[in-house]
Amino acid sequence: MIWFGLSLFAGRRLGRRAATDRGDPCTAFLERVEQTLHFDYTTVGHVTIDVLADGTRRAGGAAFYSALQAARLGRRALIVTQGVASEIEALLEPFRDELALRVIPAPATTTLATTGAGATRSQRVLAWAGPIADGLELDTAILHLAPVAREVPRRWSGRSAFVGLTPQGLARDWSGLGDEFVPRPPPAAALELATATNGVVLSESEHASCTDLIAAAIAGGATVAITDGERPCTLMAGDATTRVEVPPLEPPHDDLGAGDVFAAALFVSLAAGEAAEDAARFAMAAAAVRMSAAGSGGVGERSAIERRLAWAQATRDPSA
C-alpha cells in the first residue's frame, strides 16, 4: 500500500507546518500525518489514464474529477485508487497541492481510449487495474464510491457520515482488453451497496440498467439524481419525484467528467444539509463551469460556481 502526498501535497493543503518548526522532527512529522487521517471527502475508484482521439493522455475517472471538485469547494480531499503508483503519481503531479492520494499497487493502471462526447462518447478498455479488495479503512465525512469499471469494494471499515455512489462503472462491462464498454445491469452485490448510500447520481443513459439499484437506494433513504444533459434533472427520494430545469448552456468546450463534478457538488451540498433541489441547482452550476474549459482546468472554485448559479437564477427569474 503506497501513500503519496502525506508530506508532498496533503502536508501543504492539510495544515502544513513551516520548515523552521522547532522541536523533534519525528514528532512534527507524525503530527502532520495525524492531520491527514481525517478527510472531508474521500473518493474510492480507479484514477484512469484517458487516451483521447488525438493521442493526448490525461487523468480521468470519477474518483479524480469528483475529488478535485470537492477540493476546489474547500474540502480536504483524498483519492483511494489502484494501479501503478508511479504512473498515477506522475498523472496527478499537477494537483499535489490540492489532493491527497493513496495508491493500492496493481500490475496496470486502468487506461481508456475515449472518443466522442456526451451521449455519443465511447470508451475502450486498454488496461484494467482490477477490483479493489474489501476491507479498506477510511475516516472521512463524505465517502464517494466512484467506480469506472466494476472495481469498488462492497465493504469497508471506519467512519463516514455521508455515502455517495456514482454507479456508472457498475452499470457497464467489457469482454476483454481493447473492447468497448457496453451497458450491463449492476451485479447483485451492488444492490446491497446501494442501500447503504445517502446519495446516488447517474445519467439517463444508465437509468434502464439501474432500476433495481435505484429502488434499493431509495428504499434505504437515499436521494437519487438522474441527469439528462440539457433536459431536466430528476430527483427521487421516498415517494417523491421532482424535476429541476437545467439553465441554458453554451456549447460545451469539453464535457468529460462533468457528471462527476455534478455528483461531488451535489454530495457536498446534501451532506451540508441543503435541500435536494437547491443542491441540484448548485451541482448544475458546477457542471456548467466544468464544461466551459478543457479537462481539469474547467473544474471550478466555489466563487465561479456561485457566479454561475446567480446567473442561472437571474435567467429563471429576470426580476430577481
Mind listing the domains of the chain with CATH numbers? 2-316 (3.40.1190.20)
**pLDDT at residue 53, rounded to an integer:** 86
Q: How many CA atoms lie within 13 A of 301 on its CB side?
A: 3
SS3 content of the chain, % helix, strand, coil (to 5): 35, 30, 35
CA distance 221 to 162: 12
**pLDDT at residue 167, rounded to an integer:** 97
CA distance 59 to 55: 13
**pLDDT at residue 292, rounded to an integer:** 84
> Which residues have a Cβ under 8 Å from the Cβ of 4 and sit 6 or more positions away?
85, 88, 89, 92, 101, 102, 103
| C-beta of residue 93 within 8 angstroms of C-beta of residue 111 | no
Backbone angles phi, psi at 19, to 5 degrees: -65, -20
Beta pairing partners, 158: 138
**pLDDT at residue 82, rounded to an integer:** 98
Q: How many CA atoms lie within 13 A of 315 on its CB side?
A: 13
Query: In terms of Cα–Cα distance, which of 78, 136, 86 is closest to 106?
Result: 86
| C-beta of residue 115 within 8 angstroms of C-beta of residue 138 | no
Query: Which residues, given as ranges, of the chain have pLDDT below 50?
Result: 1-22, 27-36, 319-320
